[in-house]
Chain A
């Protein structure tokens, strides 16, 4: 049967009609960090390829990634990666049918936000 609403079906999600809240914010951040990490992956592969190619190419890539701007991008990458990591674990908990009541969901959301900052600081100390 022809789907006569195919041209006007709504796109999801309808962000503009919701009040901002922790589970919503943390869910959106999961998508943003997951997709933004492609920039980190691209930069890192460029750096690895440069290391494989020649000392000169490595000096260029390494110079960029260890500049203040490179440090900023890499620090944000680590933050994004840890955030996505924790939020992904939270999704696995949700998918198991647990933690879906509102107080627990809000606590898990804050755990993702605070946990990712803590893990990023720890990473910067260790690395």
Chain B
């Protein structure tokens, strides 16, 4: 006798394996990013045209630094999960797995690099 309910046995066996949690994550991160990205565009855009000292000055302030950290973490996780859907749509088998692993490694790597640079400037 198995102690699993019918529902529990069915979980994760749909066409996409899982999906509800992924979709909800995309919705939550989309709303979160929608709140911070406009301000980030202005801060990052203004910093992009200025000299080195002003750039260091900008990102050593708390609000630009916190916003940048949030955009790096949330934005790249949003990318990772969004790219995952594209990969799953167009590729199967080993190609799909390799692309998913590459996307995941790349996203975390870029996040960590960005956070390191930010910490070095801000702290």
Contact = CB atoms under 8 A, between A and B. Distances in A.
Query: Is the pairing of A and B real?
Result: yes
Interface of A: 9, 11-13, 31, 34-35, 37-38, 41-42, 44-45, 47-49, 51-53, 55, 58-59, 62, 65-66, 74, 78, 81, 85, 88-89, 91-92, 95, 123, 126-127
A125 to B, nearest CB: 11
Nearest to B45: A127
A87 B121 CA distance: 34
Contact of B34 (A48, A89, A95): A89
Given A55-B52, A62-B52, A95-B27, A126 B34 contact: no
A53 B118 CA distance: 11
Interface residues of B, number: 38
Given A35-B79, A38-B83, 15 more contacts: A31-B86, A35-B82, A38-B79, A41-B75, A45-B114, A49-B114, A49-B116, A55-B52, A58-B55, A62-B52, A66-B48, A74-B48, A78-B45, A95-B27, A127-B46
A41 B79 contact: yes
Contact of B59 (A48, A66, A126): A48
Contacts of B83: 34-35, 38
A66 B27 contact: no
B90 A52 contact: no
Nearest to A58: B52
B48 A47 contact: yes
